[in-house]
Amino acid sequence: MNSLRNPKRRPTHPGAVLLEDVLPGLGISQVKLAELMGVSRLTVSQLLHEHRGLSAEMAMRLEKLLGTSAESWLRMQEAVDLWEARQQPERFESIKRMQPMAAAA
């Protein structure tokens, strides 16, 4: 699937979306977000500053709190994870594509 996003540019981390768009839009602090989501302030801080990825559980908490879909948050995280993996192709050089196996007679 083609995207309008420049493939050389790192996708936006879901934590950046929360920090730059969601928190200001709601007018709440990181501490309040953590409280509303039922997680520690450290967990939220690490996510917002991109020191941790967004888990499925955190995506579900955001879905419940914000009325957004957990899938949309997870797709953002997946895009970041794949982009980062593709920046290190040498890690995958030793893996060779399998050849189709002959059908058993």
Domain boundaries, the chain: 14-87
State whether residue 2 is helix, strand or coil. Answer: coil
- pLDDT of res. 49: 98
- pLDDT of res. 12: 97
How many whole angstroms separate alpha carbon 26 and alpha carbon 28? Answer: 6
Torsion, Cα 22 25 30 36, to 10 degrees, reads -80
Convert the pLDDT of each residue in 15-61 to its tens digit: 999 999 999 999 999 999 999 999 999 999 999 999 999 999 999 99
Convert the pLDDT of each residue in 42-53 to its tens digit: 999 999 999 999
CA dihedral over 79, 82, 83, 84, signed as positive or negative: positive
Average pLDDT over residues 49-77: 98
* CA nearest to 48, candidates 13, 83, 11: 13
How many whole angstroms separate alpha carbon 66 and alpha carbon 34? Answer: 13
Q: Domain 14-87 carries which CATH code?
A: 1.10.260.40
